[in-house]
Amino acid sequence: MFKNLSPNIKSSITRSITQTFEQYMASIAWDEELYSIEQFVATWREYITTKALWYSKIPEDIKQHPSFHEDLAQRINEVIQRILNEPPSEDQIASIQMMQEKLDTHYTYGCKAEANFVENLLTEHLQKEQD
């Protein structure tokens, strides 16, 4: 069923999963012990039903079909795996390392999205120190 959707809708679904996952992970400070797939899916479901323009473009009979839900679950898993397996850039690593030395911190990160979170966190800490 997912395969039969337009490329624009499929792309929008993928973007919404990516954005919501990264926002959800930031909300729990990328703490793996706090991660809950159920909570993430609930967050994503709320987003798609209240803010995603593409959701209303999918016919109700497709939305209700079990194979569509299976396809979505598979897509969610694929997107999460892609995010978690994308390594941080060399620039991110260098930037984080410099900031951690200045701040004497020891944050760890395993992927590009988590490195982005750490980089933003360290930037905020540096800005607070300068104020």
What separation in angstroms does the CA of 112 have from each of 3, 71, 80, 117? 28, 26, 12, 9
Query: Given this model, what pLDDT does residue 48 score?
Result: 94
Q: Which of 124, 114, 126 is nearest to 26 (CA)?
A: 114
Write down the pTM of the prediction.
0.91
| Inter-residue long-range contacts of 90-95, CB under 8 Å, 24+ positions, other chains counted | 92/116, 92/119, 95/119
Domain ranges of the chain: 2-85, 90-130
Query: Given this model, what pLDDT does residue 129 score?
Result: 84
pLDDT in tens, the chain (131 residues): 888 899 999 999 999 999 999 999 999 999 999 999 999 999 999 999 999 999 999 999 999 999 999 999 999 999 999 999 999 999 999 999 999 999 999 999 999 999 999 999 999 999 988 87
Contacts of 122 (CB under 8 A, 6+ apart): 96, 99, 100, 103, 105, 107
| Contact (Cβ atoms closer than 8 angstroms) between residue 100 and residue 91 | no
Query: Given this model, what pLDDT does residue 68 score?
Result: 93
Query: Given this model, what pLDDT does residue 16 score?
Result: 96
Query: Given this model, what pLDDT does residue 4 score?
Result: 86
